[in-house]
Structure formats: C-alpha cells, structure tokens
Amino acid sequence: MIRPTCRNVRTALPKTCPVHAPRRGLTSRTIITDNKNLVPIRTNLRGSSLLNTPRLNKGAGFTREERAVFGLEGFLPYDVHSLEKQALRAYNQLLKQPTVILKHAFLASLRDQNQVLFYRLLQDHLKELLGVLYTPGAAEAVENYSNLFRRPIGCFISYPNHEGMRAQLEAHLQDVNRTADVAYHSKDSKDAIDLVVVTDAEAILGIGDQGVGGITISTSKAALYTLGAGINPNRILPVVLDVGTDNHALFADPLYMGWKRTRLRGKNYDNFVDKFIANCRDIFPNAIIHFEDFGMTNAYRFMEKYKDKIPMFNDDIQGTGAVTLAGLLAALKVSNQKLGDQRIVIYGAGSAGMGIANQIRDGLEILDGKTRQEANKHFWCVDRNGLLVESMGNNLRHSQQGYARPDAEIANWELENPEQHAAYLMDVIKNVKPTVLIGTSTSRRAFNEDIVREMAKYVERPIIFPMSNPTALCEVDPEDALAWTDGKALVATGSPFAPVPLPNGGTYTVAQTNNALVYPALSLGAILARSKTISPSMLMAAVHSLAQLSPALKDPGASLLPDLSEVRNVSVVVAAAVCRQAVADNNATDQTTIDIVNGNHDVSLEEYIKSQMWDPVYRPLELVD
C-alpha cells in the first residue's frame, strides 16, 4: 500500500531508493538496480490538474489511496483498473479505427492523455504498430498536420521569431522542471534534457518538404527512442525548425500553420541552424543532437561541421548505414567471408545509399585496417545517370565524389546500350561480378530476374539487400531473390516481409534492417557516458555488437538481424558496447559510467544500463506542497 509522504512510503520501498537518500547528493546517475519503478514521483498537482497532465495521469489506474490523497474521487468511475486492463481496452479501441491515419491520430490522442498507457500499448504491440507510429502512419500525419491539429507537442522554432529562440528553448526546460522526476533528474536544471530530435522538414521520409508538419517526425522518432532503449520521454525534446517551405500545396492550404514563404536558404539559413545548435549546447549542455530528415546536401554539411565538436547523430545517413553494415557483417559470418574481400554495388546514390557506403567504408578502415583510398575501391555506386565516374565532375555531389570510378575502368566494358555512353546496373553486374548488391533507389523491382541470376553466376552466397521503403518500392521481393538463386541468397530488406518457404522444405526469415535496432541504443550509451562526441569507433562498436546478436549465427535459416520485438534487450547489449568504446576513446565524462566500465563498481554495466531505462509502468505519486 503506497502512501503519499516520504515517511509513510519508507516501509514499502527498498533502502536503495533515492527517496531515502539526501536530496543534495541525488543525481540522475544514482544507481537503482532493483525496484526502480517503486520510486515515487513528487508532485503538487491534484484533481483535474493531475488528470490533465499526461506525464502523471493514470486514468482508471489511480489506486484507492491515490484517489483519496490527490482529490480524485468524483473525477473517475469507481472501479480501479490495472495498466494491463487499460492497455487491452486501448488496443481494442485502436483496432476499430478503419485507416492508418486514424490509428495514428488515436495514438496521438492517447499520448496527450496518458503517457504511460501510450508507451505500454506500443511496447506490447511494437512490430504491429510501428507502421502506425512511424511510416507510413507518420507520413500521412505529416501531410495532414495542419488539418488534423489538436494539441501542440514539441518545440516550434520559426525563423521570424528567431530572436526569441533562446527564451523558447528555456521555456521548454522550465516545463520539464515543473514536473521534475527525482529518479531521473539531477539538481542541475541543465541536466534535464538528454536528447534533442530536430528536423527542418525538407526531406520527410519519401514525401519531401512538409514545412511545420515535420514536428510529427520528431515526436515519432522521440517515441522510438523511448520504446527502443528506454530513454525517458520527459527528457527528450522534439523540435521543428520552421524555415518556410517550397511545397506549394501548403501555400494553397488556408489551414496551413507554418511560416508561409519559400524555404530559407544560404547564409541566413546556416546562421539560423548554427544559432540553434549554440543555444542547445548552452541550455542543454549534455544533450545528444539528433538531425532528422534534413535535405541531403544540408544533412551532410551539418554532419561534417559538427560531428567532431558535439555529440550528434544523423539517422538518415549514419543510422541506415549502421544497421545495414550490421546485417552485412552477419551475412559474411554466415557465408564465411571477409569484409575486405567484397565487391559492393549500391543502386541508388542518394543520402541513404551514400550513408550506407560511408558506414561500410568505415568498417573497412576500422575493422580491416584499410586506407580511405583502398576502402573506396570496394564500391560501385549507380544512380539514374548510371555508374558514378570521375568525368561526371561537378554533377557529382560532395558525398558521391570519393566513390566515382575512373573512366578508364569502363572504357573496355561491353555495354548493353553503348549509345548512352554510361554503364547501368546490368553492365555493372556483368563486369564487376559483385558479391553484395544493395538497393536504395526506390525503384520498384529494379533487381529483376536477369539481374539476380547474373549476379548468382559468380557468387556462391549472393548478399542482396533491397532497402527501399515502403514494400511497394522494394527493389526485389525476397521470395523472388531466393527462388532465382536456388535459396542461396542472404537477404535483408528495409520493409518487413513474411518468412519465405525454401525448396528443401524449410523457411528463410527475412531480416528487416530497421534503424531502431541501432540508433536508440547508440544514443543511450552516449547519454550514459556523457560522451563529448559520437565517434566513428563508438558507432562501429554498436554495429559490431548488433551483428554478434544475429540469430543466423546459430540457425542459417534465421534472420540476419534480431527481431524488432527484442529491441529493448538488444539495446542493453549495444548501449554497453557504446559505453565501453566511449571510455576507451577517452570520450566519456560521466564518472559513474567510467568507474563501472573500469570495474571499479560492484554493479555490472548491463545492470546499470537497465537501471537507467524508463519503463512504461505506473509509479507511485508523492504529494508535496
């Protein structure tokens, strides 16, 4: 029976509970390895104010004692329902929504009412509901943001109000501190935000420029951080930088809520983003900055500018590349091959394709000891204009230049269409004889039977990763890829696919290269280490640890990557690898994490990580003045 004061809860809680620790010494790194969810949350809210605070509201889950202490009698029906019963009711309500967009709206409404119930429902049905929360559900919600608007979530920083940017960010910090949670917050208010997820909404998923509606992507990505790695949702700040839009449909919509002018470019845009980063570093000095869905050119520019200065991460570039490399390393382990022996063709030389190339290239450098020039020679990148070659000159983006092949290399190739003066995918397959084929083109069924069979002529175990989302844009159906290679292909996809029957009577489980297997744990490890940056070696540690968890290492017919339903367990292992690497790099600044990694503490690193993960459970409340 939980009572509302520290004196009365003492017998119900373990002695390690921070409620009994001196307030002055309490920090966000206090180690609670047991019963962490019995630590009460202190609040002075009562009655309807408490019910209208999503972070604290339990709805029908408030106990009889809590209803009496917090003045909730008369505000709720009589019966007390467990969280499990509430989640079942919410799930049944969700199933009655006829479309994905209405399901997404239902989840948004639930989040606005009861934060714990929202995350519990998603955690219980993560694989099923991921497409509702993120893509395609979030894509539809972004497109209809202004028409569906109900309640603002996150931080909106518009260029016309850029002079007040600092005050706007500080207001969100104050909002967090007003509902401070003693189990997760330190006495220093600047330690109250662990993660900032920011977008300028220029390149939202596959639908492009969406202006202020991009906030939905930031909030959905923030939710995946909590679901994937238990990062406290109250310590994540989703942000949209409203710098205008070049989407003329938004200009024509009288209900559009963003800044109605063409997208800001050039020096003013750069100064605006730089000012945002500077303010974040000052107001939230320990926060990871996650860049999401910026335009490709800007995404690469800002990554190069800040990666060695602040703890930052770009999921579109680094996340996709990291999970792909993990799948590739697992496939090579299954087929008993080495990364340094691979000939890799990437079809689709945009941000995702080049991000994958960069990450594999880092793997060749870090794991195989190759120079940058040597590593680049393992790639043949093809876009709509054909194989990237040096004579393309200024038509090559900065991210593509290192991968352009010498023109002399293809001078003697026999091309299918020589009059086009370019080598296309089949030409590359015939002449390069690749061991790895990766698709990021969004070109439906680009890996046709001729392509796949040609590749399989020269490779015992072709590694084929059609990565494009959604399923309709996937370069090849895994069932076809396996049929055309007599079941020998090692396949991973960007979209989910059902297991494929094999000619021998078994089945092949198709791995989904979902970024959620990497980026939440990567950031969790960096947060716990209070890492000064997210170094390439930290990212590679995350990749390597994920690859080692491949089910295919024990069962050849199993998936190359862990199932998404196991993401929280996966995140503990991956975050631990990241923490250890941060300490090895002298990048970690959190003394508790350093001590645990160095064996100077009686708590294991994995236990510590679990103790710091937020769980979607109802914790007791403590009434304070």
Ligand-binding annotation for 316, yes or no, is yes
59: tokens are 């709805």
* Cα–Cα distance for residue pair 366/537, rounded to 1 Å: 8
Residue for token pair 């390597």: 544
Helix axes 266-283, 296-306, angle to 10 degrees: 50
157 neighbors 165 (Cβ within 8 angstroms)? yes
Structure tokens at 224: 């995946």
| Residue of 573, 587, 516, 523 lying closest to 544 (CA atoms) | 573
325 CA to centre of own chain: 16
Consult the annotation and say whether 293 binds a ligand. yes
Among 134, 256, 306, 403, the active-site one is 134
Spatial separation of the C-alpha atoms in residues 226 and 568, rounded to whole Å: 9
CA dihedral 340, 344, 346, 350 (to 10 degrees): 20
C-beta of residue 228 within 8 angstroms of C-beta of residue 568: yes
Question: Looking at 36, 58, 103, 221, which residue is catalytic?
Answer: 221
The token duo for 12 is 């119900």
Task: Give CA separation, 459 vs 433, 453, 552, in Å.
Answer: 8, 10, 19
Residue 514 labeled ligand binder: yes
Q: Are 70 and 46 in contact (CB under 8 A)?
A: yes
Cα-based distances in Å from 311 to 172, 276, 307, 317, 357: 21, 15, 7, 15, 22
**Integer CA distances (angstroms), 141 to 171, 189, 215, 239, 257, in order:** 26, 33, 10, 16, 14
Catalytic status, residue 221:
yes
Query: In the annotation, is 338 catalytic?
Result: no
Residue 99 CB neighbour total at 10 angstroms: 11
| Cα 226 → chain centroid | 10
Task: Look at strands 195-199 and 236-242 and give their pairing.
Answer: parallel
> Is 469 marked as a binding-site residue?
yes
If you ran DSSP here, which 8-state letter would residue 207 be given?
T
Provide the H-helix boundaries in 470-625: 478-484, 519-529, 536-548, 567-584, 591-597, 605-612
Residue 227 vs residues 124, 469, 547: alpha-carbon distances, Å: 10, 21, 21
Six-digit token pair at 236? Answer: 């994540």
Distance CA 512, CA 517 (A): 10
d(CA 603, CA 594): 12
Binding-site residues, in ranges, read 292-293, 316, 469, 514
Residues labelled catalytic = 134, 221
Residues contributing to the annotated binding site for (S)-malate:
469, 514
Q: Please give the annotated binding residues for a divalent metal cation, written as ranges.
A: 292-293, 316
